[in-house]
Amino acid sequence: MEIRKYLGKALDPIHIGAGGYRLGRVDNTIVREPATDVPKIPGTSLAGAIREYATFYLQEKDEKCKNQNDEGEKRRCAEEKAKEYFGDEKRQGMLRFYDAQILFFPVSSINGTVWITTKDLIKYWLGDIKNSDGEEIKIPRDIEDEAYIIRWVNDKKPDKLNLGWLLLVVGSQFNDDNSEIITLPLELKDFIKKIVLVSDKLFSHIVNDNLEVRTSVRIDSTTGTAAEGALFTYEAIPRGTVFGFEIIEDKRRGEKNEVDGMIKAAFKYLKLLGVGGMGTRGFGRLEILWPPVDSEKKIEKREGEGDND
């Protein structure tokens, strides 16, 4: 078995509905972790979307499928091929998808957009990354109910920081003795300029208080106006949120290069077509940032640049 970690950025708000209605500020709520109440993208949602996009890819690129007589036969061929990777009711696939967790969550502040995270999250998702183009950042060993600035570009660090409506004291600076080193990949440091660590307790509250909430109404097809009593609200994870998720591959089955190519191709569809609901309303697109989908091309380019020296 091989565990692969991926980091993705929401290009649009993402809505994965919890189903049904509940009392509260919105009608249609999103899926959350039961223990922490933090929103997530379920592994089933990722697997379903990536499976469909992989089928698109196989339909056009697989040697057997693309040479079928008509589009219907191409589709059936691609669906059968996809079952080898994703499984069906009769057999288990070689790929296992796990829930996408929020790693960095964007929050409005008087200092601009700030991305919040927790010590455990950043250590789990970034702790193993070795990236020569990345940036080493220090994180404190001990966390209290304060805001700990671990990255702050082109601005003076404040003594107090508001995260939405919540005002926090900025934690004292930490040195080598009471800190750890984490590498922030190049693909993240290019757009995340301000990162703040908060406690697990505060993280859940801040995230839930700063979700995007929209209002929609159903249109009566007869009159062309809003249907009576059809106003509803729904929540979404905001644009700019960074997720971490894992895929486990059973390496005993299938060719590694073939599986890699299919997954990377499906990721490109995620950036175009997205995941979750409300896709026709501008929701759902997810861009994979790490490892880069075109990482092989970047490596080839660097090697070529080195040859010219």
The reply to whether 201 falls in a domain is yes
Contacts of range 72-79, beta carbons closer than 8 Å, 24 or more positions apart: 79/55
CA 82 to chain centre: 23
The reply to whether 301 falls in a domain is no
The reply to whether 306 falls in a domain is no
What is the model's pLDDT at position 235? Answer: 92
Residue ranges making up the domain that contains 155: 2-290
The reply to whether 102 falls in a domain is yes
What is the model's pLDDT at position 259? Answer: 83
The reply to whether 298 falls in a domain is no
What is the model's pLDDT at position 109? Answer: 96
Residue with tokens 């089955």: 253
The reply to whether 124 falls in a domain is yes
How far is residue 174's CA from residue 86's CA, in Å, rounded to a whole number? Answer: 46
The reply to whether 24 falls in a domain is yes
What is the model's pLDDT at position 76? Answer: 92
What is the model's pLDDT at position 297? Answer: 40
What is the model's pLDDT at position 255? Answer: 66
The reply to whether 26 falls in a domain is yes
Pairing of strands 2-10, 212-219: unpaired
How many separate domains does the chain show? 1
Low-confidence stretches of the chain (pLDDT < 50) are: 295-309
Q: What do you get for the CA distance between the two ends of the chain, in Å?
A: 41
What is the model's pLDDT at position 294? Answer: 61
What is the model's pLDDT at position 92? Answer: 82
* Whether the predicted model's global pTM rises above the 0.85 cut: yes
